[in-house]
Structure 1
Amino acid sequence: MKLFDSRENPALSSVLIIIGLFLINFLFLGSIIQLIAMVSVGASLENIMESGGNFNKLPNAWLGMILGQGFGSLVGFIGTAWLYWRIIEKKSWEAFNFSKLPHIQVFGMVILIEITFMGFNGFLQEINQGIVFPEVLKGLEEVLKGMEDKLAETTKFFTDFTSFWQFLVAFIVIAVIAGIGEELVFRGLIMRKILLGTNNPHIAIWVSALIFAAIHFQFYGILPRMMLGVLFGYFYFWTGNIWVPIFAHIFNNGLAVTIMYLHNIGIVKTDLESMDNVPLTIIGFSLLATIGLLFLLRNYTLQNKQ
């Protein structure tokens, strides 16, 4: 499927502009938004300065941090997509789609693929976390593990809640806003621009997935996150509709938030960390079933287009 037209800006310069806009919006403006959010829920500037960037102990820390994350994602991802697509290229939001919204069966297949893929992706997570650097790079390994520990601490803080209103806020921020914004940037913009430059959908899908994973700054989660990006990329390429990978992304993140919430209130006993230790039989079944379902989805979408 052709995901670009002759009136679009060149591929390489476009990708660089998109990434530049994202870094400015998410890292610079996002940091300012986070500070404003902390002040708005009761923290003083003196408290913030004394925290050294560790906001967990500040007044109403959870609410301030989740609001900062939410508005930061709005500016960083959706704001980047709006600035580039609507202002620079002057295109409509509808131009992200090259086919009409597919039948509901497609969304059902997407859910089934994502659930089936969890076993193999848990195996990839194990591999990723078990990477050991050579002695000459031990310093880099320590830095990356330090970043990983800090991100894990932040994630635990965000998801360690038992009230339903916190669950709803977390679901909106982590699943809905992130799902829409990240797919607009990484699939709707970056993937299509790489396709414009290479005219090879597989290169576009895999490279954009690698950028998607790398830009989260989490080395020990880069492999499973990249493979999710690959899935989202093929969903977009086969269906030609940006709402399909957006739905897949929201479902993936939303399921994780829901499992964490249900675990916190004692309804389910399994937490996400225990899902990394997957038996080999389940890994094999997960991989084979995912490949089979992907072929079914591809054939189904092609037949409906014809």
Structure 2
Amino acid sequence: MQKSSSLLILVGCIFLCSALGIGLGLVITHFSELTPLTELSDRAFPDQWFLRMFLNGVSHVSTFLLPVILYWRYFERRSLADFSWKKLNSPSVLWIAVIIVVFLIPVNQQIIEWNQSLKLPSAFAQIENWMRKTEQEKSLITQKLLQIESFSELLVALMVFGVIGPIGEEVLFRGVLQRKLTEWHVNPVTSIWATALLFSIIHFQFYGFFPRLFLGALFGYFFYWSGNLWVAIGAHVANNSIFVITAYAHYNWPSIHKSISTISESTISILLSISVSIYLLRLFRRRNFLMYQSIRN
């Protein structure tokens, strides 16, 4: 399949499935008489929380997972197993990737704070004000959805934000886009960073752009070194799940959450985060290289 036609078909599948998802969401919203989250204060919608999370899950599936499966199975004529180049020969590889994500939390938090402090030149003041206002509105909606008060809500939030979202995004960005760029003989490093760039741009959040670029590249290297999409998915699931659990702790165990945040922001934690992560990344790359060599021989 030609490069241009392949991309156009993929984009077409995304638009088609997204439109179906939006249509379904509008129908459900209309008949359930959901009030926009921006018009509600705090937890003023406990009876509608599960329905709103269901709609978020529908949005993730229709935007990322469903169009990719449609494209992959019916236009590329490939099976779901073909998303990976190699089998997951050692579960320890997956666990190393997950542990790296955990240890990188203090570093990523520093990137988040630095990104949020960025200011555009004065000539772009109006654009900056618009971007900040838009992102504050999105952040407010997310915060309201993640005001998790019960264990059942935590499980649902983990399923929607921690599992469904990461699987869909990794299948699209790493499983298809990064893989296709590599198949088109684009340099692997260029493929990783180009996909990570698109991954960050597609979220339409300038003040969260660099943390997502960093994580997107990390997931890309996990996929490239291991050759298995489940490694990237596992790392992404771990990252998002930690975010959800942190939100749960913020509202249910504020003192514990504050103590952990203070410790993770210390200089020692950041240095330890960098040192351990570099060591584990080298171990991850070396272990995958050795396994690949043993398979070939």
TM-score (norm: length of structure 1): 0.86
Which of 126, 133, 150 aligns to 2:137? It is 150
Specify the SS of the correspondent of 1:83: helix
Residue 20 to residue 141, structure 1, CA distance change in 2 (3 Å): farther
Equivalent residue for 2:181? 194
Amino acid at match of 1:32: G
Alignment of structure 1 residues 118-267 onto 2, 5 Å: 118-266=105-253
1:205/1:233 contact within 8 Å kept: yes
2:98/2:234 contact within 8 Å kept: no
Equivalent residue for 2:66? 79
Shift of 1:76: 1.1
Equivalent residue for 2:26? 35
Runs of 4+ in 1 over 6 A off after TM superposition: none
1:191/1:205 contact within 8 Å kept: yes
The 1-side partners of 2:262 and 2:77 are apart by 44
Equivalent residue for 1:6? none
Matched length: 290
Alignment of structure 1 residues 3-18 onto 2, 5 Å: 9-18=1-10
Shift of 1:278: 2.8
Equivalent residue for 1:3? none
Residue 122 to residue 199, structure 1, CA distance change in 2 (3 Å): same
Equivalent residue for 1:4? none
1:259/1:271 contact within 8 Å kept: no
Amino acid at match of 2:196: A
The 1-side partners of 2:230 and 2:108 are apart by 23
Amino acid at match of 1:31: I
The 2-side partners of 1:162 and 1:59 are apart by 10
Shift of 1:178: 0.6
Shift of 1:198: 4.2
Equivalent residue for 1:5? none
Shift of 1:246: 0.9
The 2-side partners of 1:274 and 1:20 are apart by 43
Amino acid at match of 1:144: M
Amino acid at match of 1:128: N
Question: Is 1:278 matched with 2:265?
Answer: yes
Residue 11 to residue 279, structure 1, CA distance change in 2 (3 Å): farther
Any idea what the Cα deviations from partners look like across 1:252-305, whole Å, max 9, x if unmatched? Answer: 111111122133222763269957983444334323332221111000011011
2:249/2:257 contact within 8 Å kept: no
| Greater CA drift, 54-63 or 127-136 | 54-63
In structure 1, the gaps of 5 or more residues are 1-8
1:123/1:277 contact within 8 Å kept: no
Shift of 1:59: 8.2
Amino acid at match of 2:132: K
Question: Is 1:22 matched with 2:14?
Answer: yes
In structure 2, the gaps of 5 or more residues are none
TM-score (norm: length of structure 2): 0.88
Specify the SS of the correspondent of 2:77: coil
